[in-house]
Structure 1
Amino acid sequence: MQTNGLMGKFYVVCEWIMKLAFVNLLWLGFSLVGLIVLGIMPATVALFTIVRKWLMKETDIPIFRTFFQTFKKEFSNANKIGLLMAVIGFFLYFDFTYLKMIGGSVQFALSIPLCIITILYIITFLYLFPVYVHFEIKMFQYIKNSFYIGILNLHLTALIIAGIVLLSFFFRFLPGILPFYSMILVAIIVMWGAGQAFRRIEAKQKKHNVQREIIH
């Protein structure tokens, strides 16, 4: 079908509305297949894989096949990383709970470094899926690189967080669309911001390599 003219553009918009909803429903369905605990990490990796391809102009990929193959391929590794991040998150939660019981000046003194660590944890988790689907590295390097990329691009990190906050207000007014567009829209915001960070890093690396060649 031709995409010229008003009707053509309307058709394209409708097609993308359907695509976004389909991927989000796949994410929900495959998360449930893995009983949430084992399904949510590989399902999220599969969702980010599709979003990354879309942002790289690969818009004609077979959605279900790509999602299913990625889910199956990354099931084990994604859950290993998820388990590690869950353990770290549990210890942070435990520390906050313990500090509430202590009270007094000790609570105040320990709350500051704990809050900083928690913020760094959130930033790392924010970039974890984009890094996972963009690079092929070892498991601990995914976490380390997510941390470094988030810290070195704080302005993009702030934009991503602001976008997610705005999106949450949007969902509060239209809660009925949550099953169809919640995670996919979050993934688009996060993957777009992370993509900008990746390009900045790649540009710096190219510049550094050129300078090194000139020196030599």
Structure 2
Amino acid sequence: MFSYEGMMRINTALRSVYRLAYLNLLWLATTVLGLVVFGIGPASYAMAAYIDGWFRRGQTPPVTRAFFGHVRTQYWRSVAMGVILSGATVIVVTNIFSVGTWLLQFANIVALAVIAVIAAYVFPVMAATDVRGIPRQIAAALMLGVGSLHWTIVAGAVVAGLVWLLYACALPLLVLFGVGIPAAAVGFVTRIVFGQLSASDAQTSPSPRARETSRTHLHLARGTTE
């Protein structure tokens, strides 16, 4: 028989699964209502902000209210980020299928991988750090993804394997969880990386110049994300 503690752990795990599925449905609804162009950025930012608070600080406010609160927080900035990333993706994918030489195709595939890394981390950077300005946020996301490349590769492999498994065996579940799967994987990575950065900041006392440089690159926001 299951103990009370075991039942509570199962209940907590199931609630987490349901919460992730509901976040994905809210992401889909926001993206569609924003006609994709005006929706995908705010939806991705809201997803990243909620998961960051959930994974890193254990905050699980009411999902609907918190999600749409995050959508409103940085709406136009996240719209601009979504448009930039979507436009870059369309251009690179078009080049992959239109250029005639394999060298240019390979260069565009590398560019697509870079865009994927930026897209994975830029919204957590927007939600969890004090970095401001689209160019600096993109640079910080790329630095975060490349600086923790081993975690990025592990997360990418887990996401690819899980997506393939659901596609082959349970396609409705893939639709239900969708973007929530990579968002959760990135959330686990940023929880580890941001935790290490916070611990490093607490243990060291750099010079004012070095501290300012560190903040310029990646300064973790404290407290509740706005």
Q: Could you say which residue in structure 1 is the equivalent of 2:149?
A: 154
Question: Structure 2 unaligned runs (5+)?
Answer: 209-226
Aligned-pair CA distance for 1:43? 1.2
1:109 to 103, 106, 109: 103
Q: Could you say which residue in structure 2 is the equivalent of 1:76?
A: 76
Q: Deviations over 1:158-187 (max 9, x none)?
A: 111111111212221111113332222221
Q: Could you say which residue in structure 1 is the equivalent of 2:33?
A: 33
Distance 1:19 1:117, change over 3 A: closer
Distance 1:10 1:161, change over 3 A: closer
Q: Deviations over 1:167-208 (max 9, x none)?
A: 21222111111333222222111111123233344455556x
Question: Structure 1 unaligned runs (5+)?
Answer: none
Distance 1:180 1:91, change over 3 A: closer
Which amino acid in structure 2 is aligned with residue 152 of structure 1?
Answer: G
- Asked if the contact 1:127–1:150 (Cα under 8 Å) also holds between the matched residues in 2, the reply is yes
Q: Distance in 2 between matches of 1:10 and 1:157?
A: 28
1:176 aligns with 2:172: yes
- Asked if the contact 1:127–1:190 (Cα under 8 Å) also holds between the matched residues in 2, the reply is yes
Range moving further from structure 2, 17-26 or 76-85: 17-26
Aligned-pair CA distance for 1:211? 6.0
1:139 aligns with 2:128: no
Larger Rg: 1
TM-score between the two structures when normalised by the length of structure 1: 0.82
Describe the SS at the equivalent of 2:205. Answer: helix
Aligned-pair CA distance for 1:91? 2.5
Which amino acid in structure 1 is aligned with residue 136 of structure 2?
Answer: Q
The count of aligned residue pairs is: 204
Aligned-pair CA distance for 1:95? 2.4
Pairwise CA RMSD of aligned residues? 2.4
Q: Could you say which residue in structure 1 is the equivalent of 2:122?
A: 128
Aligned-pair CA distance for 1:24? 2.0
Which amino acid in structure 1 is aligned with residue 56 of structure 2?
Answer: M
Q: Distance in 1 between matches of 2:199 and 2:10?
A: 37
Aligned-pair CA distance for 1:80? 0.3
Superposition misfits of 4+ residues, deviation over 6 angstroms: none
Distance 1:98 1:176, change over 3 A: closer
Q: Could you say which residue in structure 1 is the equivalent of 2:44?
A: 44
Describe the SS at the equivalent of 2:74. Answer: helix
Percent of pairs identical after alignment? Answer: 19
TM-score between the two structures when normalised by the length of structure 2: 0.79
Aligned-pair CA distance for 1:56? 2.0
1:198 aligns with 2:189: no
- Asked if the contact 1:24–1:183 (Cα under 8 Å) also holds between the matched residues in 2, the reply is yes
Which amino acid in structure 2 is aligned with residue 190 of structure 1?
Answer: V
Describe the SS at the equivalent of 1:163. Answer: helix
Which amino acid in structure 1 is aligned with residue 119 of structure 2?
Answer: F
- Asked if the contact 2:53–2:59 (Cα under 8 Å) also holds between the matched residues in 1, the reply is yes
